Amino acid sequence: MSPNASSPLPHGAADDDLPALEPAVIRRLQQALARVGDFGEIGLVVVKGQIKFIKVTCSESLAERPGA
């Protein structure tokens, strides 16, 4: 990345500073993404640098009729 490009990492953080995700956590994230469906989002709750919770928000389109 060029020095002028914006980085998603905190100021001064390097890729090497990021903890690796365990396979079990990756599976849970994949399951959460599958539950979201067509509309929604997932969020991570981090406590003391560790992922503790996954928040799943599912949304429904008002443009579509139920059962249609």
The answer to whether 10 and 30 are in contact (CB under 8 A) is no
In the numeric block, the tokens 């599958």 are attached to 34
Neighbour tally for 67: CB within 10 Å: 4
Residue 59 is given by DSSP the state: -
The answer to whether 58 and 39 are in contact (CB under 8 A) is yes
Greater confidence (35 vs 4) lies with 35
Q: What is the pTM of this model?
A: 0.62
Question: Which pLDDT belongs to residue 23?
Answer: 93
Q: Is 26 helix (H, G, I), strand (E, B) or coil?
A: helix
Question: Which pLDDT belongs to residue 1?
Answer: 43
Segments making up each domain of the chain, as ranges? 40-68
Stretch (H or E) spanning 31: helix 23-36
31 pLDDT tier (thresholds 50, 70, 90): very high
